[in-house]
Amino acid sequence: MDNVLFKMAVGKFRACFGAAPTVAAFAPGRIEVLGNHTDYNEGFVLSAAIDLGTFFLASPAKGPDCLLVAGDLMQEVRFQVDSPHPSPASPWANYVKGVLSGLALSSKIARTGFNGLFLSNIPMAAGLSSSAALEMSSGLALSQLCNVKLSRMDLARIGQKAEHEFAGVKCGLMDQITSLFGSGGSLVMTDFRSLDVKDIQLGAGPSGEPPCFVVCNTGVKHTLVDSEYNERRARCEEAAAFFKSVLNHPVTALRDVSWKEWQELSPRMDPTTARRAAHIIGENARVLQGVELLTAGNLRKFGELMFESHDSSRKHFENSCPELDFVVDGAMSMATVSGARLSGGGFGGCAIILTGTNDSEEVGATLSAAFEKRFGGPCACMAVKPSAGGRLVDAATGI
């Protein structure tokens, strides 16, 4: 956690409100490590909270007015505590308004306004889920301020609902769960049928040093992502319905179908639907195998599953792009890299590279230079480490 960022946030809070905050919380961004598009197929995902995140500071106001300040833009929004309606004029405020609305529905909270300010070091539009970090940090701080007792999963659901109803983004739960359940040096393993969450130690690299992930932002926009996402989801549902009709065991989602069953029955399917199903079924298997490999301390083999995952995204799910493929192929040729794949929805965005902490700077610089030479534009690379999830911090020290 960045103490410099916290001090900056406190300084801005004092400048805006003339006093110190009474509550403070921090929540990190996230990366998806294995399990691509498996969440809405009731499957498995391995993700990680990262060492970049958002501080949310707050104090009670005297009346029903809420004054919310975006610390990076130094823009402010006012609204009534009992009517936090979304507004297109300040879309960044809608995430906090949605969380406040969810808290009010989940519990009887004091109808007293608040002064709030947030500040983040997560790069915008980098595919690291800055929105979930804001939702979870504001949820933790406002829960404390309003004396609301919630489980982490309940708060994650409130964040998801805020995305759906206030930000207009139909996201899954992975971002919020990862932001809250992360642990230092570990991955978050989520079963999206039961919503069971486990902590999986990442372990040490081949040379004994701590591993990290280099996030490479291609800068490619997710063009037509809504229609592409909807097509992929519809194909998965179509495939699940097919397997349900031909298998002699219950099938409610593609997680219930084995790779052997896919091999035997896929020739009877529409070819595109079969490919989409192959990706999901293969991803679920890779997540489970990945957990076994990490438990056994085999990080190198785990990295090979990341390469396999990207290859499946490229061939079966077709949610990669030339820029992502270029980064992953370049990473594959580097001896200090264990694995690489796209992270998140795909169709652009980021690739993540698993490497040693001591090698991360060279890996990022090499890939960035090669990317700029090939595509004529930058590829921003940064190293992130699996880190602790969201939590309340001392409003005076940030600890």
CB atoms within 10 A of CB 37: 25
- The distance in angstroms from the start CA to the end CA of the chain is 9
Per-residue confidence (pLDDT) for residue 108, from 0 to 100: 64
Residue of 126, 117, 137 lying closest to 27 (CA atoms): 137
Local structure of residue 380 (DSSP, 8 states):
E
The token duo for 90 is 């300040």
Q: pLDDT tens track of the chain, all 399 residues?
A: 578 999 999 999 999 999 999 999 999 999 999 999 999 999 999 999 999 999 999 999 988 899 999 999 999 999 988 888 888 889 999 999 999 999 987 666 667 799 999 999 998 777 788 999 999 999 999 999 988 899 999 999 999 999 889 888 777 899 999 999 999 999 999 999 999 999 999 988 767 788 999 999 998 876 556 678 889 999 999 999 999 999 999 999 999 999 999 999 999 999 999 999 999 999 999 999 999 999 999 999 999 999 999 999 999 999 999 999 999 999 999 999 999 999 988 888 899 999 999 999 999 999 999 999 999 999 999 999 999 999 999 998 888
H helices of 199-321, in order, are 225-246, 259-265, 271-295, 299-312
Active site residues: 175
Q: What's the farthest any 2 CA atoms get from each other in the chain?
A: 69
SS3 382: strand
Per-residue confidence (pLDDT) for residue 399, from 0 to 100: 85
Distance between CA atoms of 374 and 326, rounded to whole angstroms? 9
Tracing tokens 């309940």 back to the chain, one arrives at: 154
Tracing tokens 């009474």 back to the chain, one arrives at: 22
Residue 160, amino acid = Q
- Our CA dihedral for 295, 198, 118, 120, rounded to 10 degrees, sits at 20
CA 103 to chain centre: 22
Per-residue confidence (pLDDT) for residue 100, from 0 to 100: 93
Distance between CA atoms of 197 and 212, rounded to whole angstroms? 22
**Ordered DSSP codes for 78-131:** EEETT-----TT-HHHHHHHHHHHHHHHHS------EEEEEEE-SPTTSSS-HH
The token duo for 97 is 């308004």
Contact 19, 67 (CB under 8 A): no
Q: Which domains does the chain possess? A: 3-183+387-393 (3.30.230.10)
Distances (CA, A) of 249 to 117, 209, 265, 281: 52, 46, 14, 16
Per-residue confidence (pLDDT) for residue 346, from 0 to 100: 86
H helices of 109-195, in order, are 130-146, 152-162, 174-181
- CA torsion through residues 273, 278, 279, 280, sign: positive
